[in-house]
A and B are shown apart, each in its own frame.
Chain A
Amino acid sequence: AQTVTQSQPEMSVQEAETVTLSCTYDTSENNYYLFWYKQPPSRQMILVIRQEAYKQQNATENRFSVNFQKAAKSFSLKISDSQLGDTAMYFCAFMKWVGGGTSYGKLTFGQGTILTVHP
C-alpha cells in the first residue's frame, strides 16, 4: 500500500514571497503519478500540478513548480510570488499506474498543509 506524508500541518508566507510545501511518499511501484491539489475555503478540489514518475524533468505551471526526487521519494511544491488567492489547504496525492500503465486509478492523499498568505 502507498502512503503519502505531509509533515507541515500549517505554513504561512508573505505576499510576493516564495514558499515550499513538503511531501514524501512510500511505494514499491515504479510507474505512478504525483499531484498537488489545492482546496480553498470553497472546498473545491483544484488540480495545481501533476508529475509523471518516468519524467526526470520537474513539472511547472506558471508560479507553481515541483522538485521531484524519485530516489528519495520526495515531491515538494514551490509557489513563487505568492498571492492572497493562494491561501488554501494543499494536498499531495499519489496515483499508481493501472490497467496497462496509462489508466487513471485511485488517489492516495496526504493529510494536507494549510497555507496562509499574508498581505
Chain B
Amino acid sequence: DSGVTQTPKHLITATGQRVTLRCSPRSGDLSVYWYQQSLDQGLQFLIQYYNGEERAKGNILERFSAQQFPDLHSELNLSSLELGDSALYFCASSSQRAGGRRDYGYTFGSGTRLTVV
C-alpha cells in the first residue's frame, strides 16, 4: 500500500456521461497530481493542486475539471465522455519540499481504469 488511495479501481460508463474519480493523498502530503495513461498518449500530466489551490495545469481537456478539498482529498471530474477518454487515471501525492526532513518522495496511487463504451 503506497498510502495514496484512489477510488473506484474500475469504472465502465457510456459516452456522454460524467464520472468523478477520487484520490486521498498520503498522510501529510499537501500536493496532489493527476495523470492520464492511455495507449496513444502515454503518461501525461493533467493538473496539480497544492493545499487546495491549483498549482499547475497540463494537457487537461476543458471537459475535465478537478478540485482539492480542505481535507486534502482530490476529485477529478470527467464529463461528456468520449471513447478516447478510456484510460488509466493516476493520482500521486508529494510532500511540500523535496529533500526535506519529511520528504517521502512522489507516490502514486494504484489508478482508476476508466472504460467508456
Contact = CB atoms under 8 A, between A and B. Distances in A.
A11 interface: no
From B45, B98, B113, residue with most partner A Cβ within 10 Å:
B98
A43 B110 contact: yes
Interface string A75-94: 00000000000000001000
B31 A104 contact: yes
Interface string B73-117: 000000000000000101010111111100001111011010000
A103 B97 contact: yes
Contact of B42 (A46, A95, A98, A111): A111
Interface string A93-111: 0010110001111111111
Contacts of B14: none
A44 B107 CA distance: 10
Given A44-B108, A47-B105, A109 B31 contact: no
Contacts of A45: 90, 92, 108, 111
A44 B99 contact: no
A105 B32 CA distance: 10
Interface string B34-59: 01000000111100100000001010
Nearest to B111: A43
A33 B110 CA distance: 23
Interface residues of A, number: 26
Contacts of B56: 98, 105-106
Contacts of B2: 44
Nearest to B94: A104
A102 B58 contact: no
A106 B45 contact: yes
A76 B2 CA distance: 26
Nearest to A93: B43
Contacts of A110: 42
B31 to A, nearest CB: 6
A103 B58 CA distance: 17
Given A102-B98, A107-B35, 6 more contacts: A43-B110, A97-B98, A104-B31, A106-B45, A109-B42, A109-B43
7 contacts: A37-B108, A45-B92, A47-B105, A52-B99, A102-B97, A102-B100, A106-B33
